[in-house]
Amino acid sequence: MPENRPFPENTRAIAAGPGPSMADGPASAYIHVPFCVRKCAYCDFLSFADERSHARIEAYVDAVCREITLTPKWFPAEEPGRRAGVEGRAERPLETIYFGGGTPSLLSPTQVGKILTALRDTFGIKDSCEITLEANPGTVNEEKLSAFREAGINRLSIGIQSLDDNVLQTLGRIHDAGSAMRAVEDARLAGFQNISCDMMLGIPGQTMDSVKKTLEFFLGKEIPHISLYSLILEEGTPLYARLGGDIEKYVTQEQDREMYHYVTSHLAGKGYVHYEISNMAVPGYESRHNSMYWRAEPYFAFGAGAHYYLGNERGRHAETLDEYIGALHEENAKKEDVLITEEILSPEDRMKEYMMLGFRTRAGVGEEAFRERFGMTVESAFGAEIEKEMNSGLVGFEDGIYRLTEKGFDLANQVFMDYV
């Protein structure tokens, strides 16, 4: 959890407000690109690094395009809360699109353009749409990044993690500090303004000096958005085996927090807003796509293993390339062969989720927004929880908005537990 600090008064509250009603249908799309050059030592995300899988990238892109095209048919306008379009065209053009992975920068700009064309033809894309691509240093250069820009990408999220070669080796990343710095410089040369860099903390062997060096580079390059993550040791990964499953032996909770507090306070001093627990941005550069998640809005997702949320239904996609590409080989592929419903959310589930997501952000949970969405007040739904959190000094209430206090932001998990 991050450091807890009062949010500046003059910054835009990006996550407040009710957002669109569920009946409006999704205005966001996530595309999962499950390919990587090599698996990182700590990674348990769905991604394939073998040659046979890589040989199927073009077929995968075609499958994603077909899934996009079939979506209005799979979710006809008559179904409340799941409206994709009428006569194959959405009433709401997309406002955010996110290529995540895996390593989306392994796709060619032509393949990215093909997917964007399918999205445009099916749903429409707003001129102001934020279109993010996750890029891995070591897979891009200025020429490729320029071509991504021409294809329509207008925001890059670069997985730097650290500029310390020892740390990068521990993580098993394919890049070193030099290629990470070059990727940022190339992104600038390619004309990208809207750049986010990932930074990982709490890594065995990582020192405060290396954290400071990485941060200074980001600031020197005026990177407007930084995502902060602590290393999580996932069972079954090579790093888990190497460290004997016990990260505390190598990095204590206190050391991890110390790094976190240094980074967040340093960035805050430079005008970055800690707008979400793991994210800091220069005002105006907050991730619009991720903010959509934190407002619990519905979104389309496409691609193997991708998770979707359509208002009252949550689910995932077939996870193997054989299943996903195989099912979408047919022109009239069946929804049931591609999508697996995981959960039909009750109104109570949705309210809890809305609270938990809202509390992740500095915008908090607006009383009015909650009432508009759920037809009841926060008080009547969660009076006992809110009273307890306020008595413990974890949650405050001001100008119609409940949000975590300084203490609450640092102990956010305690609050989240009330809404599980």
What's the 3-state SS for 255-288?
Answer: HHHHHHHHHHHHHHHCCCEEEECCEEECCCCCCH
Minimum CB separation of residue 323 from ligand SF4 in Å reads 20
The per-type count for the chain, helices as H runs and strands as E runs, is 17, 15
Task: Give CA–CA dist 84/27, Å, rounded.
Answer: 9
Minimum CB separation of residue 234 from ligand SF4 in Å reads 10
By C-beta, is 103 or 210 nearer to ligand SF4? 103
Q: What's phi and psi for 397, nearest 5 deg?
A: -135, 120
By C-beta, is 229 or 419 nearer to ligand SF4? 229
Residues in the chain: 420
Minimum CB separation of residue 51 from ligand SF4 in Å reads 16
How far from chain centre, in Å, is Cα 122?
23
By C-beta, is 85 or 102 nearer to ligand SF4? 102
By C-beta, is 168 or 395 nearer to ligand SF4? 168
By C-beta, is 39 or 335 nearer to ligand SF4? 39
Minimum CB separation of residue 307 from ligand SF4 in Å reads 15
Interacting residues of 162 by C-beta distance below 8 A, sequence separation 6+: 168, 171, 177, 199, 200, 203, 206, 210, 211, 214
Minimum CB separation of residue 53 from ligand SF4 in Å reads 12
By C-beta, is 39 or 371 nearer to ligand SF4? 39
Minimum CB separation of residue 172 from ligand SF4 in Å reads 8
- Strand segments (E) across 146-224: 155-161, 195-201
Minimum CB separation of residue 265 from ligand SF4 in Å reads 27
Task: Give CA–CA dist 26/21, Å, rounded.
Answer: 10
What's the 3-state SS for 48-105?
Answer: ECCHHHHCCHHHHHHHHHHHHHHHHHHCCCCCCCCCCCECCECCCCEEEEEEEECCHH
Q: What's phi and psi for 316, nearest 5 deg?
A: -140, 175
Point out which residues bind ligand SF4 (CB under 6 A). Answer: 36, 39-40, 43, 45, 47, 101-103, 136
By C-beta, is 103 or 279 nearer to ligand SF4? 103
Minimum CB separation of residue 368 from ligand SF4 in Å reads 39
Task: Give CA–CA dist 279/274, Å, rounded.
Answer: 6
Minimum CB separation of residue 174 from ligand SF4 in Å reads 7
Q: Are 318 and 46 spatial neighbours (Cβ–Cβ below 8 Å)?
A: no
DSSP conformational letter for 248: G
How many other C-beta atoms can be found within 10 angstroms of the C-beta atom of residue 94? 23
Q: Which residues of 52-63 are buried (b: 16+ CB within 10 A; e: fewer)?
A: ebeebbeebbbb
Interacting residues of 220 by C-beta distance below 8 A, sequence separation 6+: none
Helix, strand, or coil (residue 225): strand
Minimum CB separation of residue 121 from ligand SF4 in Å reads 29
By C-beta, is 208 or 232 nearer to ligand SF4? 232
Minimum CB separation of residue 135 from ligand SF4 in Å reads 10
By C-beta, is 158 or 327 nearer to ligand SF4? 158
By C-beta, is 70 or 171 nearer to ligand SF4? 171
Q: What's phi and psi for 244, nearest 5 deg?
A: 65, 25
By C-beta, is 43 or 355 nearer to ligand SF4? 43
How far from chain centre, in Å, is Cα 135?
13
